[in-house]
Every structure is written in structure tokens, then in C-alpha cells.
Amino acid sequence: MADTDDQNGAESAAKVRTLADLARIAGVSAGTVSRALAGNSLVNTKTREKIEAIAREHGFRPNQMASKLRRQKTGVIGVAIPLGHDVRQQISDTFFMTLLGYLADELTEKAYDLMLRRVIPARDEDWLDHFIGSGMIDGVIVIGQSDQFERIEDVADGYLPMVVWGNHQEGQRHCVVGSNNRLGGKLATERLIASGAKSLAFLGDTQPIEFAARYAGAKEVAAKMGVPIRALPTHLSPERTGEEIAQHLREIEGKVDGIFAATDTIAVTCLKELRERRMEVPGQIKIVGFDDLPISSQTMPPLTTVRQDIAAGAKGLVDLLLRRLEGEDTESLVLPPHLIVRETA
Amino acid sequence: MADTDDQNGAESAAKVRTLADLARIAGVSAGTVSRALAGNSLVNTKTREKIEAIAREHGFRPNQMASKLRRQKTGVIGVAIPLGHDVRQQISDTFFMTLLGYLADELTEKAYDLMLRRVIPARDEDWLDHFIGSGMIDGVIVIGQSDQFERIEDVADGYLPMVVWGNHQEGQRHCVVGSNNRLGGKLATERLIASGAKSLAFLGDTQPIEFAARYAGAKEVAAKMGVPIRALPTHLSPERTGEEIAQHLREIEGKVDGIFAATDTIAVTCLKELRERRMEVPGQIKIVGFDDLPISSQTMPPLTTVRQDIAAGAKGLVDLLLRRLEGEDTESLVLPPHLIVRETA
DNA sequence: CTGAAAGCGCTAACAA
DNA sequence: TTGTTAGCGCTTTCAG
């Protein structure tokens, strides 16, 4: 029962934009309204209910900017996706996008909002400091180290609430969550060799640290088994990949019978080129991918690949970040990859 | 209570967290620092340079919360993805994620940040009001109408800066950007019939308004051409789709020779089931998808589909939203879909 | 061209 | 249990 001293119909027209407005019409102080709406301390139940009713009636929501400013925390986690040289490349990368989806789920669950920022390190050297220093976020998750390993290391020294998806290196200083890429590379290569491949190739850019680790694992196994392996570099941008792969295929025809693709996306494209060149898979040439994206089970033949557990990765990222927000200096989390044997090797 | 008991080396150790701090060490007032850093009005060049130097040296960045509170604008655009009944469904949906990627690009370009929120309407009726009323965003882009058409309509009446990706209906009140789904459905169906199909099926959930429109277009053409068409409902969540489709396929075997799939994702799964049942495509059964996702050119045989221009969609969403932020009451934007003929029909 | 001062809307002591 | 009182850090008149 609010005192409707308004003339007529003015009731619902009254704008309630601030706590003070609401306080006035409820006949209490702003402080009380704040407490009531926070559902927090010992506010008289009657008072609270009255305030809540009025708030609901007027569709009132407290201004978050003011609240965040005052409380010195934002309730927002920043998610940065650094793009490499090929600008358009990674933001639409299926793997990262899927990870982002799960991240959104996890963060929502923990009542955090997610601020997404696509960032081009080449265009803004201090992208990470800017994001962190913006005062807009409580912590940051970086998806992919790209070629920014050193910069991330530098920042990690002075900023605790940061977790990165990527590759783990002995002795690194930033907290990372990611698959054991080297092990993944080994699994893939072992499978290729076990399937009868006698001469291997790694298909994909070897610059990014994750890929380099996959290749390193592959080389290790290949060396141990006395099987030759070569790198066939590609660039991730989908438009160029097709022709690049076709080109490679032309060159290695008859010389290579086992391909380890850096990602499923590359593997799928390769599969298609192989088909167009009428090469039998896995008869003439075997292939193993990496990621286990949904498509890999849909190809013809279905792709043998190394699975990364994206959901577990997202969960790990968020868990570790929340602990860091509490001040804990968490360890990195390295997830085991799993070989998924289908029909291409 | 951090009292700066700086004993030595205080100079570079001195924490510059606020404009006032910086002002003090620059020997000017906070106001001047503010102006200088905004690069804005007529600040003496010397003064500005000095301030900028100090700011750089100390890695100072003004607190955005305070700034936003004061200026009553956030520089943040909210992006909401309402999830339907199947909770996990759409956030990982390739189409939406790709759109999100382009959106991130466009918004970054315009110097806006992007706040991503996954919402479950069934769990929070007022998801849209909450997002808008949070005071955290200047405007909102809703990706997909899901089953929230009415709620969005209601909100649109009282809130200008909102643009929605979805289907356009005659006389609707909210500003929408999307493909002409009905036309897309017609294109797909015409192609199926032109390829010789004599009995059709629409594969996919017909509840979501976009899909309903696609189906409506299909029915219109089918009726005109005197070809029967039936709906085979599926749910989007990947786990269940496979068996559902297999089930449908068993039932319609020999009765249907042309399938219009609501999305490429569904089409690809269908293709796989077809392959397992040793049905020839397009010999025994033809199929057309919708979206033209990257995978559709990678399937075997490559998928004939209806292309939606995602990049143009993202650009449209952002352009319209920015105009709405200026106060313009923009019209909806309906994009023409294009039939991409490959080998499945 | 620069300083002083008044808040943006909210929260959190501290009183009452 | 509630009101009062200070600000959070920044921007922006209004003077000078």
C-alpha cells in the first residue's frame, strides 16, 4: 500500500531510477532500500517486502556501475582472444568458440558476467594491460597464447587473477589450463605408425606453441621408431588452407603415407583434398587429427583424432580463476588427451 | 588501509591509482589530468605531454567504472543468447557462435566492448529486463528469438537500443536482422523438386520461429507443385539428434526421397545416418541444408544448402544498433538467402 | 588554459 | 532495525 498521493494515473508514470527515488516513495532511507534489495542484513521483513514490491512494480534495478564503483569489484570476468597474424583467423575457430560457449556456461553458473574482447596484439602491444587496467573486470581468462607467451609471462608476475588456455612449459610463470599437447602428438604418431605408416608429415603451422608441442611429440616418437617425419606448414585462415594443402599433397605424393594434422579443421580439409585427388584413406594414406570436434565423427571416413576435453578445460579455467580471485596462487592444470580411433588411421 | 610508508625509491614505487595521484605528482589538478588524458579540450600541449608521460611511466589507466558512472554511458553492448528448452543447445551452436565472432569484430571496430550473457528464459522470466536494467550496457543484441518473441516485443515498446537476430514477421515491433527464412525454405524446396524429388520431408524442430518460417516456405512451394511434404521433428541437442534422425529414417524409408533439413548441422548428421543405412545421396534420396556452414562443403558428398550471410548479418546488427543508440527508430533488415548447389540435390 | 567544486548512484561504517 | 554520513574515481560546469 504505497501512499498514492499522485493525482491520477501518475502512479505508474513516476520514474523510479535511483535508490533514493524508491526510498522516498517507500518512506524509508536509501540505505535501507539498498540493504533490502541486497536481501542482505537484518531488514524488517515487512519493510523488505514493501520495498521489493515497489521495486518490482516499477521495474527498478539498481545501477550496477555505481554499485561496482563503490564495492570495488565488478562481477565481470574478461575473456580475451588474442588473434595472431592472420587477423580473422581464430575468433571463428571452432575450438575456441566451443570453449567460449562452455566458459559462458561456467561463469554464468558462478554469477559472473563475461566480457569478451578480441584483441590484435600486433596492433596494440599492451592489450593485456589495457584489459586488466580498464577497471572493468575482476579477472581475466586468455584463450590461446598465440605468439604472446612472453607478454603473458610479464603480466603474470604482477597480476594474480589470470588464467590462460594453452600449452604448459616447464617453469613458466603464468597459470595455464590445457591439454598435454606433446603427449597428444605422441599418441597420434604412435597410432599412425601402428596402422602401418612408414613416412610421416605434420600438417599445420608449427609456430604457435601448442602446435609446436604437438609436433615435438610427433618427432620424438618418429625418431624412436626410426620413421621419417617432415613439417608441412599451413596458415589457419580457411580460405588459404585449401590450396596450401593441395599444394603440399602434390609434392608429397608417394613420399608420405601418414599425416598428423595439427587440428581437426585442417584434417577435414586435407581429407577433402585427398578425396579429390582420389587417394584412398586409410588405404594409401592415413591421417590423424587433433581436438575431436563434432565434425570429426561426421566425415567420410570418420576421423581418427586426439580428443581434448573442452568442457573440462572450461571448468578448470573458471575454477582456477575463482581461486586466484581469492588470493590463492594456483598451479597449472594439464589435461590428458585421448586417442579416439575411428577409420582414418 | 595502505598507508604509503614508502621508505626509499618511493618515486617509481609510488602507486598511481587515481587521477588525483597523477595530478599530485604532475603538479596540476585532477580536472586537468582528466582533460589531458581524454585528449580532449584545449590543454596546453606541454602540460598534456607531461601528464601523458607520467601516465605511461606508471602504467596508469583511469577507472572505467567511475568514468562510466559519471558519464552515464558504458561503452558496452550486451549480447544475449537465449537458450530454449534444451539448455545446452544453442550456445555451442555453430551458427550462433560464428555470428558472435563477427559481432565481436564489428563491435571492437566501433570501440564498444561486448558483454556476453547466456540466458535461460525458463529459469528467469525477466532475463531481458534484467540485462537491460543492469546499468551495465548501453544497448543489447539478442541472438535468436527462441520462444521469446512476445517478451521481446514487450520490451521493444519501451526500449529503443535493441536489435535482434531472427525472423521478420509482418507488423512486428522489434527491430530484427535476419535472413528471409520463408524464401530460403522456398529455394530449398524448389531445388529438391527440380532434382526430381517426389515426396518431401522437413527435418527439424518446427517450433522456433525461424524454422517455422523455413517450413512454411517449403510447404508453400510443395503445395503449389503438388508434392507432399511432412515434418520430422528433432531436437537440436547433438546427442539426441542422431538417434532421432535414425528413427525417422527408418520410418520414412521408401516413402520420402527429398529432405529439407532445418540446419546444416542437422543435414550433416542426417547424411551420416543415411550413409550408415547405405542410402545413396542424391541417388535414392536428396537433401538440402540451411546456413552454409564451413562443414557443408566438406561433407561427402558436399551439401547443397541455403546460404545465410553471417558477416553481413553481424554488420547489420551493429549498424542498426548504433543508429538506435543515436535515437533513430530503425527498420528491420531482411537479408536474402542464396541457394548453394553442391552435390546432395 | 587551469583549478575548484559538485555530483553520477550506490554501499558501508557508525550512530541512534 | 533504520537513518546519516562519507566517499568510490571520474567528468564537467563555472570561475578565474
Question: pLDDT per position in chain A (345 positions), as tens?
Answer: 333 333 333 344 467 889 999 999 999 999 999 999 998 767 899 999 999 999 999 988 899 999 999 999 999 999 998 876 554 444 457 888 889 989 998 998 898 999 999 888 888 888 898 888 888 899 999 999 888 899 999 999 989 999 999 999 999 999 999 999 999 999 999 999 999 999 999 999 898 889 999 999 999 999 999 999 999 998 756 667 888 999 999 999 889 999 999 999 899 989 989 988 999 999 999 999 999 988 888 888 899 999 999 999 999 999 999 999 999 999 999 999 999 999 999
Asked if the Cβ of residue B67 lies within 7 A of any atom of strand D, the reply is yes
Instruction: Name the least confident of A212-221, B1-10, B212-221, B255-264.
Output: B1-10
Q: Which residues touch strand C (CB under 7 A)?
A: A 17-20, 30-31, 34-35, 37-38, 62-63, 66-67, 69-71; B 27-32, 35, 41-48, 66, 69-70, 72
Nearest CA in chain A to B106: A118
CA of B59 to C1' of C5 (A): 28
Which residues face B37 on adjacent strands?
A: none
Cβ neighbours of B98 in A, within 8 Å:
92, 97
Judge whether B133 is closer than 8 Å to chain A, CB to CB.
Answer: yes
For every residue of A49-103, DSSP letters joined together read HHHHHHHHHHT----HHHHHHHHT---EEEEEEE--SSTTTTTT-HHHHHHHHHH
Average pLDDT, chain B: 89
Instruction: For residue range A201-215, list pLDDT tens digits in order.
Output: 999 989 888 999 999
Element of type H or E holding A260: strand A258-261
Q: CA B63 – C1' C8 distance (Å)?
A: 14
Query: What topology is assigned to A181-307 in CATH?
Result: Rossmann fold (3.40.50)
Which cell numbers in the block locate residue B34?
582528466
- Cβ-Cβ contacts under 8 Å, A113 against chain B: 115-117, 136
Are B97 and A101 a contacting pair at CB < 8 A?
yes
Which of A64, A275, A295 lies nearest to residue B134, judging by beta carbons? A64
pLDDT tens digits, one per residue of B321-331: 999 999 999 99
Q: Which residues of B touch A105 (CB under 8 A)?
A: 88, 91, 118
Chain A touched by B94 (CB under 8 Å): yes
Chain C bases having any atom below 7 Å from a protein CB: 1-5, 7-13
| Statement: residue B12 has pLDDT above 50 | no
Whether any strand D atom is under 7 angstroms from the Cβ of A69: the reply reads: yes
CATH 1.10.260.40 is held by the domain A2-69 = yes
Q: What is the pLDDT of residues B179-226, one digit of tens each?
A: 999 999 999 999 999 999 999 999 998 988 899 999 999 999 999 999
B63 touches chain A (CB under 8 A): yes
* B135 vs A contacts (CB less than 8 Å): 61-66
- A272–chain B Cβ distance below 8 A for any pair: yes
Q: Check if A271 contacts B (Cβ < 8 Å).
A: yes
The distance of A211 to chain B (nearest Cα, Å) reads 22
For chain B, what are the domain ranges?
A: 2-69, 75-179+310-335, 181-307
Cell 607531461 sits on residue: B50
**B73 neighbourhood in chain A, CB within 8 Å:** none
- Per CATH, A75-179+310-335 and A181-307 having the same topology is answered yes
Name the CATH architecture for the domain at A75-179+310-335. 3-Layer(aba) Sandwich (3.40)
A97/B105 Cβ within 8 A: no
Q: What is the largest CA-CA distance in chain A?
A: 92
